[in-house]
Amino acid sequence: MAPSAREETLRSVINLTLRENGDLRDLMTTRKTFINRSLAAVYDVDFSFDSDWVPYQFPADSGRSGIVTQVAMLSMFSHPGQSSPTKRGVALMDILLCEPTPTPPANVDFSAINDVNNPTLRTVRERLNAHATTPTCASCHTHSDPIGLSLEGFDTIGGRRVNMIEGGKPVDLSATLQGKSFVGGEGLGKYLHDNPKFPTCVARKLYAYGRGMDVEEVEPSAFKAAYKNFTDSGYRLRALIKSLALSPEFYSVAAPVEEASAGQAKLASTP
Query: Are 61 and 95 part of one and the same domain?
Result: yes
Within this chain, do residues 227 and 154 fall inside the same structural domain, yes or no? no
Interstrand relation of 54-57 and 165-166 (parallel, antiparallel or unpaired): unpaired
For residue 126, being part of any structural domain is answered with: yes
Asked if residue 71 lies in contact with residue 8, where contact means CB atoms within 8 angstroms, the answer is yes
Q: Please provide the average confidence, as pLDDT, over all residues in the chain.
A: 88
Assess if residue 17 is contained within a domain: yes
Q: State whether 176 and 217 are in the same domain.
A: no
- Strand stretches in 84-204, DSSP E: 165-166, 169-170, 174-177, 180-183
pLDDT at 54: 93
Based on the domain organization, do 143 and 167 belong to the same domain? Answer: yes
Which pLDDT band holds residue 103 (cuts at 50, 70, 90)? Answer: confident
What is the Rg, in whole angstroms, of the alpha carbon atoms belonging to the chain?
22
Summarize pLDDT for 3-26 with one digit per residue, the tens: 999 999 999 999 999 999 999 999
Same domain, 244 and 204: yes
- Vertex 26 angle, CA 236 and 71, to 5°: 125
44 with 94, same domain? yes
Q: Predicted confidence band at 125 (pLDDT cuts at 50, 70, 90)?
A: confident
Residues 187, 206 within the same domain: no
Asked, for residue 264, whether it belongs to a domain, the answer is: no
Residues 67 and 104 in one domain: yes
- 3-state SS assignment for residue 57: strand
Instruction: Provide the 10 A C-beta neighbour count for residue 41.
Output: 14
Structural domains of the chain, count: 2
Task: Please indicate, yes or no, if residue 204 is contained in any of the structural domains.
Answer: yes
Whole-Å CA distances, 173 to 30, 62, 210: 20, 14, 38
pTM score > 0.95 for this model?
no
Task: For residue 73, count other CB atoms closer than 10 A to its CB.
Answer: 23
Q: Are residues 174 and 42 part of one domain?
A: yes
**Whether residue 228 sits in one domain with residue 136:** no
- Do 156 and 245 lie in one domain? The reply is no
Mean pLDDT of 111-129: 72
Q: Are residues 137 and 234 in the same domain?
A: no
For residue 231, what are the domain limits?
197-251
